[in-house]
Amino acid sequence: MTASIRITEAGRAAVTDLGRHRGPGVGLPVNGALDQYSARAANILVANAEGAPLIEALAFDIAFVPSHDVLIAVTGADMLVTVDGVERPMWEPVPVEAGQEVRLGDMLGGMRTYIAVRGGFDVPELLGSCAPDPAIGFGTTLAVGDSIGLHARTGVPVNPYFGISLFNFGVDRPYFGDTACIDVTDGPDIDEFAGTAGLLFEAPYRVSTRSNQVGLRLSGVLPTRVGSGEMISRGVPVGAIEVPPGGELLVLHRGRGVTAGYPVLGVVTSTSLDTLGQVRPETEVSFRRVSLERAARDARVWRERLDRLRDRVGTVFSCLGVTPAGMERAES
Amino acid sequence: MRSPIRIQETGESAIRVIGSSGDREADWRVVHKIARAVTTPGIEGVHSAIPTYDAVLIEVDPERTTLAAIHAIVQAVAGEIDPDEPLTQQPREFVVPVVYGGEHGEDLADVARLTGLSEEEVIAAHLAPTYVIRCLGAPGGSPMLDGPTLPVPVPRLTSPRTHVPQGAVSLAGRQATITPTAAPGGWSLIGRTPLSVLDLSEETLVPYAPGDILRFERIDERRFAELAGRRLTAMETAP
C-alpha cells in the first residue's frame, strides 16, 4: 500500500514547492512558496530535497492523518502543532505514527506555515513544478477527505523517549512581528519618479487586505511618476515595486503576471520577499534602500544557514542509519 | 554589424536587457534572440528569459551564477547576433476565428466611440493586418500583437474586470491579444474566439511562439458553437 496522508481539516492549504522556474519564459508566473527560507528549512529537516513538494497552509487550521509512520517538520508562521493532542515543536523533525492526527491551529504571527513530510508528496507537476497556478487552474489544493500520496515510504528515525523532541537542530527562525523592515534595491525605472522616489523610504506603509500571492498593496505616501507616456510592456521581476493608478503601492510577489506596463521603482531583495510572504494585512512596513552587494550578501548568509542545517541533519540521520536520500540541493 | 544593447540592474536575481538601436524591429529580434541564447542548455544559472518588445528580463538563480557572469554571457551572445536576420526562418501561421461584439465583445461600442469609428470600421481594422506574435504575456501565454491601425490608442478600462473569459479578443493602447485562460483584465473586449489556446499537456503550453504569424477571421454565432473547444493549431503550409 502506498503511503499517504488523509486531510481531516483543510483550512486554506495547497501542495507547493520552490516554484515553476521555466514558467515565466512561456507566460506563467513562477509561483511556489512565498516564504522560501521556511519551505526549504522544512524539507531539509526531514532530509528531503529542498525543492520537494510540501504543504503551504495559509492562516487557518489544518489537520491530517498519515497512513504509515512518517517524519514531518513544520516551519513558517507560528502555530500550535499537536500530534494526537500532544504539543510538538515547530522547526524540528517530528515522528508521527500511522493513524495519529497532526493538527495545526492558533496561528499567532505570520501568514504561511509549511509542512514537509519525509519522502515528499506525489502530486501532478506542470513544467517541472507542482506549485499551484490559480490563473490557469493548476495545482493540488487540499479539501477534507483528500488523500495525498507520498513518494517512497522511507525509514523514520525512532525516538525512544516519548514526548521528547527527536532532535534540536537549532534552526535560525525568522521573526514575524507587527512591523516589518523590507530591503529594496533601486529599480531600472527609478528615474521615472525623479525626486519623489525617496518618499518610499521616509514613512511606513500599511498592508492592505487586498494582498495575495500576486502582490501586496500598501497604503502610504506614494512616489509619483514624472513621465506620462504609455510604457511598453516589459518583463517584470518578482519583488518589483510599482505605483499603478488607484492610490496604493504595489509590490509584486511570486504569483505576479510576468509582463507589465508600469515603471519599476525598486526591487525587494530575496530575503525580504520571504518576510513579505509572512506579513498580515494591517502590518506596518518600512522600506530600506540597500545596494545590490548588500542584497547578495544577505542572500548568501541565508544560504549558509540552510547549508549548515542540511549538514547537521545529514550527519545525524546517517548516524541513525536513515539514508538521507535527496539531500542534494535540488532545484526544480 | 552588432546591434547596441543596454543592461539594467533589476534586483539581485534578474537583469533587464534593452535593445537600443532605435530600430524597433531590429531591437525586437535582438532581445528575442538573446532570450533564446541564454536559455539554451549549457548556460548555467539562468531560470528563464522573458522577452517582450524592446527588452528581455533574464531571471537567474543567484546560488548558481552571479550577475557579473550573466552580464558577460549577454555581451558575448549579443555579439554573435545578426540583428537583420529574421527571428524565425519559417514562421507558422495561425488563423483565429472571432465573433465580434454583442455578449462576446462587450466593449466594441465603447472602442468605436472612443476612436471615432463605427463598430464595423473597428472590426474591419482588426481583421485587416497579418499580425506578428511579438511575445507571450500574462496570463498563460497570451499572444501579444501590435494592434490594428486606429485613429487613437484604446485606453485601458478605468475599472478592470475581475473576470475576462477564455478566448476573449481584446485591445489596449496600440496592442491586441487573445486571452488563453479566464483572468482579471483591464483591456477592451471586442470579440471572442471559440478555439481553445492553452494546453497544459504541452511543454510550450500554447501552440505559437514569438515570430509566428496570426490572422483573425470573422465568424457568426452558429460557427462559434460548431468550433467551441477545438484547439488552435498552425495552418498546413504549402510545400
For residue A58, the surrounding DSSP H or E stretch is: strand A54-58
Cell, residue A287: 522600506
DSSP state of A195: G
Q: Which of B116, B123, B230 is nearest to B176 (CA)?
A: B123
Tell me which amino acid residue B59 is.
E
CA-based nearest residue to A21, from A166, A158, A160, A125: A125
Q: What's the confidence (pLDDT) of residue A327?
A: 43
- The set of cell numbers assigned to B176 is 491586441
Question: Is the minimum CB–CB distance between A143 and chain B shorter than 8 Å?
Answer: no
- pLDDT, one tens digit per residue, over B119-148 is 999 999 999 999 999 999 877 889 999 999
Q: Which of B197, B145, B186 is nearest to B164 (CA)?
A: B186
Cα A300 to Cα A295: distance, rounded to the nearest angstrom: 9
Q: What is the mean pLDDT of residues A254-267?
A: 92
Q: For residues A307-312, give the mean pLDDT.
A: 93
- Contact present, B62 and B54 (Cβ < 8 Å): no
Query: Measured between CA atoms, how close is A28 to chain B, in angstroms?
Result: 5
Distance CA B96, CA B231 (A): 10
Distance (Å) of CA B102 to CA A100, A236, B72, B107, B147: 57, 34, 53, 9, 21
Nearest-CA neighbor of A129 among A266, A18, A252, A12? A18
A24/A18 Cα distance (integer angstroms): 14
A27 chain-B contacts, CB cut-off 8 A = 136-142, 205-206
Q: Which residue has the cell 527609478?
A: A190
Output the pLDDT for position A154.
61
Exposure b/e, B96-112, CB count within 10 A at least 16 = b: bbbbbbeebbbbbeebb
User: Are B206 and A331 a contacting pair at CB < 8 A?
Assistant: no
Q: Which of residues 105-144 of B touch A (CB under 8 A)?
A: 135-142, 144
Which of A27, A235, A239 faces B56 most closely, judged by CB atoms?
A: A235
Closest residue to B53, CB basis, from A233, A236, A264: A233
Which residues of A are less than 8 Å from B144 in CB distance? 233, 259
Write down the mean pLDDT value for chain B.
Answer: 92
Q: Measured between alpha carbons, how far is A303 from A315 in angstroms, rounded to an integer?
A: 18
Between CA A32 and CA A16 the distance in angstroms is: 6
Query: CB B63 to CB A303 under 8 A?
Result: yes
φ, ψ (nearest 5 deg) of residue B28: -60, -45
Q: Which of A28, A239, A268 comes nearest B140 by C-beta?
A: A28
User: Half-sphere exposure of A81 toward its Cβ, with a 13 Å CA cutoff?
Assistant: 22
Domains of chain B: 5-80 (3.30.1360.40), 93-227 (2.40.100.10)
Cell of A162: 516519548
What does the pLDDT look like over A107-144, one tens digit per residue?
A: 888 999 999 999 999 999 999 999 999 988 899 999 99
pTM (2 d.p.): 0.91
pLDDT greater than 60 at residue A11: yes
Mutate to test the interface with A, among B15, B32, B50 (most CBs of A within 10 A): B50
Query: What are the residues facing B18 on neighbouring strands?
Result: B6, B55
Across A214-223, A265-274, B159-168, least confident range: B159-168
Average pLDDT over residues B55-73: 94
Yes or no: say if B152 and B110 are a contact pair by the CB < 8 Å rule: no
A179-188, B148-157, B207-216, B220-229 — which is least confidently predicted?
Answer: B148-157
Domains, chain A = 4-173+303-319 (no CATH), 179-290 (2.40.100.10)
Percentage above 90 pLDDT, chain B: 78
CA distance B72 to B69: 5
Beta strand residue intervals within A118-162, DSSP E: 140-141, 147-149
Question: How many CB atoms within 10 Å of residue B124?
Answer: 13
- Kindly provide the ipTM of the predicted complex, given to two decimals: 0.91
| Total Cβ atoms within 10 A of residue A275 | 23
Q: Mean pLDDT lowest for which of A203-217, A268-282, A310-324, B215-229? A: A310-324
Q: Can you read off the three cell numbers belonging to residue B155?
A: 485606453
Q: Side chain identity at A213, as an amino acid letter?
A: Q
Half-sphere exposure of B215 (CA within 13 A, CB side): 14
Looking up cell 477592451, which residue turns up? B188
Per-residue model confidence (pLDDT) at position A332: 36
Q: What is the dihedral of CA B99, B105, B109, B114, to 10 degrees?
A: -110
Task: Spell out which residues of chain A touch residue B210, defining contact as CB-CB under 8 Å.
Answer: none
Helical spans, DSSP H, in A138-185: none
Return the percentage of chain B with pLDDT > 70, whole number: 98
User: Which grid coordinates belong to A37?
Assistant: 527560507
Query: A219 is written with which cell numbers?
Result: 497604503
Nearest Cα neighbor of A270 from A30, A23, A25 is A30
| B48 at interface of A, judged by CB pairs closer than 8 A | yes
Per-residue pLDDT tens digits for A38-66? 999 999 999 999 999 999 999 889 999 99
Q: Are B59 and B46 in contact (CB under 8 A)?
A: yes
**pLDDT for A329:** 41
Which range is least confidently modeled, A288-302, B171-185, B204-218? B171-185
The pLDDT value given to residue A171: 86
Of A127, A304, A277, the residue nearest B63 (C-alpha) = A304
- Residue A190 pLDDT grade (very low, low, confident, very high; cuts 50, 70, 90): very high
In tens, the pLDDT along B76-101 reads: 999 999 999 999 999 999 999 999 99
Residue A296 contacts by C-beta under 8 Å, 6 or more apart in sequence? B12, B62, B67
**Which of B9, B48, B142 faces A188 most closely, judged by CB atoms?**
B9
| pLDDT on residue A322 | 63
Contact between residue B231 and residue B196 where contact means Cβ atoms under 8 Å apart: yes
pLDDT at residue A324 greater than cutoff 70: no
Summarize pLDDT for B187-224 with one digit per residue, the tens.
Answer: 999 999 999 999 888 888 899 999 999 999 999 999 99
pLDDT reported for residue A166:
62
Residues β-bridged to residue B181: none
Residue A321 has pLDDT above 70, yes or no: no
Contacts of A259 in chain B (CB under 8 A): 50, 52, 135, 137-138, 144
Mean pLDDT on B5-24: 96
- The helix/strand/coil state of B97 is strand
Lowest mean pLDDT among A260-269, A314-323, B78-87: A314-323
What is the length of chain B?
239
Q: What residue in B sits closest to A187 (Cα-Cα)?
A: B10
